[in-house]
Chain A
């Protein structure tokens, strides 16, 4: 079955420290992978995607994600966290021409 997993419900990081939000996937064929962010009382906003090419993908707001085929992972990263990065983050994967979303990881950046 095609799926995406975010193993952490919540991640706490001190402001200025690097952050990682984890995502693993299971799909047949080449994976198309996405990260979205949701701020309170808002819809999801696109951050970045991997379709093909360089394993390190750069996106909005200084975020990047590393595609690792052998580990079937697509972790979201940022070198230096900001308090304003606090939000709910969703990893997503293409499955049969639809998108499957993970359950989300709540990121808390502590001042």
Chain B
């Protein structure tokens, strides 16, 4: 999975609790992305980063925040988890945005009860 790790790989949590997912890359790529994958929706962009401390919102950013204090780490936080945030979360990286191939991590399966 192209030098990308995600942790945890599986998590069960309760509604209302905060959750942080971590994406770590060893490729030193500038761009990092968080997607969620749901049946019937494909992949939808939550947030992305174009450098340390530089982030922007994607299509489905409500209820999520991100931080990138180092090139290699991109954190996704669910501030107060809801059942609608039960999903599989994928991190991706790319050298540039838009026209370059994205490389995906193995995913984190999150269940919010």
Contacts and interface: CB of A to CB of B under 8 A. Distances in A.
A98 B97 contact: yes
A110 B26 CA distance: 39
B42 A45 contact: no
Contact of A46 (B35, B41, B102): B102
- Tier of interface size on chain B: 20 to 34
A46 B101 contact: yes
Nearest to B48: A98
B18 interface: no
B104 A43 contact: yes
A22 to B, nearest CB: 15
Contacts of A90: 42-43
Contacts, number: 53
Contacts of A102: 42
B42 A104 contact: yes
Contact of A94 (B4, B98, B105): B98
Contacts of A36: 104
A46 B103 contact: yes
A107 B42 CA distance: 15
Nearest to A6: B42
Contact of A97 (B44, B97, B103, B104): B97
Interface in A85-111: 90, 94, 96-104
14 contacts: A41-B106, A42-B106, A42-B107, A43-B92, A43-B105, A44-B90, A44-B102, A46-B103, A90-B42, A94-B98, A98-B98, A99-B102, A103-B42, A104-B42
Interface of B: 1, 4, 35, 40-45, 48, 58, 90, 92, 97-99, 101-107
